[in-house]
Amino acid sequence: MAFTAENLAADDRFLAAILHCANQLLAIYRESPRIASIFAAQQRWLLAHAGFALHYGHPDDGQSGGLYSGRFVDFAVKNDIASRNTAAAFMQEMLAYRFLRVVPGPDKRTRYLEPTEIAEQHFTRWLVTHMMILDSLDGGERADQITAASSATMAAIQPRIARAIIGSESVRNPGPTFNLFNWANSGGLVMDYLISRLPQFPRAAERVVIGPLSLRELREQFMISNTHLKRLLTQAATMESVGWTEPSRKGDFWLSRRFILEYWNYQAAKFAIVDAAAQAVLGPAVREEPQARRAI
């Protein structure tokens, strides 16, 4: 059986998986900040998944097949992802960055689009990263299967992931502090960085200290303004979700238990969705359940 969100949320081994995922996403950003910026805020991440799903053949919007601006904008508005103007601007940005290109289509009055090779490569890397983490928990071979998979297999898996993510309250609204970071420009990257610094997570601890925090390093690494970064951390501190051990932003930085659990539960819900989509298309990752999975 595929992992459930409840399985993963209850499994202490999942912390290592979360930290690995955060570090991998940060590595992707450092290699290609422009394309990784798509994953730096929830709205852009959802728009990207929606675009891929419509390209591959999302069946639930009641419109003709293929990816084109009108269909994409209608889908984004219908699913409460973005306004019409924001969705249209996102499409133009993806064309300008050459993550989308114009292709011939069945209706010559419509400008059809498709992801470019670099966009598909980065999505595949995102998916393989998630499969590797799931494999580390049960000894499966999902990552190898995805790496060897045909484009048709990818086209079958991705819309399942997108449909479930877009319809998941646990993924789209995991909690107030997570939402604060993940809806801010570059906020998702800052959050991934903070979580990646966790040394451990005793579940009974109200706060976990992650050591000194350099605002200059954050600004330079994620190209975020000083004003924007300070406002983000101040809001989170007001919510008692983050803070410093000494007044006036001195001493070590800490994360609250509530904030960590919001991130943990979000990841659990997301990974369960990815695992379910992979199992539906590729079959069970583990034919005979090992002790590790039975013990969860």
pTM (whole model) above 0.85: yes
What distance in Å separates the CA atoms of residue 70 and residue 165, rounded to the nearest whole number? 22
Helix 215-222, helix 226-238: angle, nearest 10: 120
Closest CA to 42 of 186, 164, 163, 257: 186
What does each of the 296 residues of the chain score in pLDDT, given as a tens digit? 789 999 999 988 898 888 888 888 888 888 877 777 777 778 998 999 999 999 998 766 556 678 999 999 999 999 999 999 999 999 999 999 999 999 998 888 899 999 999 889 888 888 998 999 999 999 999 999 988 877 888 888 999 999 999 999 999 999 999 999 998 888 888 999 999 999 888 888 999 999 999 999 999 888 889 999 999 999 999 999 999 999 888 999 999 999 999 999 999 999 999 999 999 999 987 765 544 444 33
Supply angle C-alpha 275, 1, 296, rounded to 5. Answer: 90
* Cα–Cα distance, 255 to 246 (Å, whole number): 14
Q: 138-147 burial, b for 16+ CB within 10 Å, e for fewer?
A: bebebbebbe
Q: For residues 230 and 186, what is the distance between their CA atoms, to the nearest angstrom? A: 13
User: How many whole angstroms separate alpha carbon 67 and alpha carbon 83?
Assistant: 18
CB atoms within 10 A of CB 80: 10
C-alpha radius of gyration, the chain, whole number = 20
